[in-house]
Amino acid sequence: MLTATQYIAPLMANFDPSVSRNSTVIYFDNGTALVVQWDHVHLQDNYNLGSFTFQATLHKTGRIVFAYKELPIEISQISSVNHPVKVGLSDAFVVVHKIQQIPNVRRRTIYEYHRVELTKTRITNSSAVEIMPLPTCVQFTSCSACISSQINFNCSWCHRLNRCSSGFDRHRQDWVDNSCPDETKDKMCDIDDTTQLDSLATTITAKTASKSKGTTAGWNTPSTSHAPTSAPTEDDTKIALHLRDNQVMPADSAVNRVPGTHPLHTGLILGILLVMVIMIAGVLITVYVYHHPTSAASLFLIERRPSRWPAMKFRRGSGHPAYAEVEPVGHEKEGFIESEQC
């Protein structure tokens, strides 16, 4: 299946170089390009059609050139009964899945995610096809360049692999095994180098100080003057908050505070104070009732203590009062209970 889904094929057919002594497959690599040439090869199931001569050149820049020197018949007329006939590119990745029901057993699945098929009728003798590469995620080597890329792919950066990818390439297995799909949800770049963090913090501090003095700031932005009382910009605040989360700057730094905000949420403080007031009130009431048993509050609680709750359930029917009494089995009644209805 891999040969059917992963190929660079100037012409894929049922070729067999062993059927003729003149048939060869040669290659040459000069460091910037790899050339593979099929020279005077014949079809195994139709030798009498003649020989085919063509080549493929893979350039280091990603450019691919298919060149055709000798084609005895049109490619569309080549039989695909014994072997598929393809002209173009295809790529796929293999993912190994673990089967939970059966230990030590894995299932391999091949996913073909991209294919380019060339028009066979337009390929003739002494013709060539040039395939130019489009920008992809794998060309970016830094996190910032990866997540800020504006190409036709959803690029994400995986810190565990230090790799930029859309998740669909030949390294898909590593991407999944290292939990890169979960890591790339936040679309954030973490700076791990402490030297860079110190340098960044120093730059932000210098930038804020320069603004307070009315000088121009850096950060590769157009030079603008600031009033001596100007507050830090929104970008400064975001950068400072990021540094504070990474424990580079103290939490009470003047840069990471936005005017009008408080470190703690007001609602949380009020909720904590309310709970504390209720608990203190409960303790004070308990102490007061214990030391003043004849007070109105104490008498109110005594009259409604659980031991004084009614032990009978009244059933109302036909206008006459009724009761139900629970008593141990095997004991005779020593008296009776009267109930009055008001």
Provide Rg for the chain, Cα atoms: 41
153 lies in a domain?
Answer: yes
DSSP line for 98-149? E-SSSTT-EEEEEEEEEEEE--GGG--TTEEEEEPPPP-GGG--SHHHHHT-
Which pLDDT does position 307 carry in this prediction? 63
pLDDT of residue 185: 64
What DSSP character marks residue 264?
A: S
Q: What is the pLDDT of residue 267?
A: 82
> Same structural domain for residues 169 and 198?
no
Q: What are phi and psi of 55, to 5 degrees?
A: -150, 160
Report if residue 165 sits inside a domain. yes
Q: Are residues 54 and 126 in the same domain?
A: yes
* Span 79-117, pLDDT tens digits: 999 999 999 999 998 888 777 777 777 888 888 888 999
- Whether residue 82 contacts residue 16, with contact meaning beta carbons closer than 8 Å, is answered with no
| Per-residue three-class SS string for 314-335 | CCCECCECCCCCCCCCCCCCCC
CA dist 172 and 108 (Å) reads 13
pLDDT at 262: 53
**pTM for this prediction:** 0.53
- pLDDT at residue 115 in the model: 92
Indicate whether 145 belongs to any domain: yes
Domain boundary among 133, 150, 169: 133
Is there a single domain that holds both residue 123 and residue 156? no
pLDDT tens-digit map of 130-169: 999 999 999 999 999 998 999 988 899 999 999 999 988 8
Domain range for 149 is 138-183
Same domain, 157 and 218: no
Rounded to whole angstroms, the Cα distance separating 125 from 41 reads: 15
Q: Are residues 56 and 126 in the same domain?
A: yes
- Any domain includes 255: no
The verdict on residue 189 lying in a domain is: no
Spatial CA neighbour of 165 closest among 152, 175, 177: 175
Residues 6 or more apart in contact with residue 23 via CB below 8 angstroms: 16, 17, 39, 40, 41, 42, 51
Whether 254 is covered by a domain: the verdict is no
Domain membership flag for residue 237: yes
pLDDT at 34: 98
Could you list the beta-strand ranges (E) of the chain.
7-12, 24-29, 33-41, 52-59, 64-70, 86-98, 106-117, 127-131, 156-158, 163-165
My answer on whether 61 and 152 are in the same domain is no
- 160, 76: one domain: no
pLDDT recorded at residue 263? 52
3-class state of residue 229 by DSSP: coil
118 lies in the same domain as 159:
no
* Co-location of 321 and 269 in the same domain: yes
272/323 same-domain check: yes
| Adjacent-strand bridge partners of 129 | 66
**Total number of domains constituting the chain:** 4
**142 occurs within a structural domain:** yes
User: What pLDDT, on the 0 to 100 scale, is given for residue 102?
Assistant: 77
> What residues of the chain score a pLDDT lower than 50?
192-197, 199-201, 204, 206-261, 312-342
Tell whether 157 and 275 lie within a shared domain. no
State the maximum Cα–Cα separation within the chain, in Å, rounded to a whole number. Answer: 124
| 7/125 same-domain check | yes
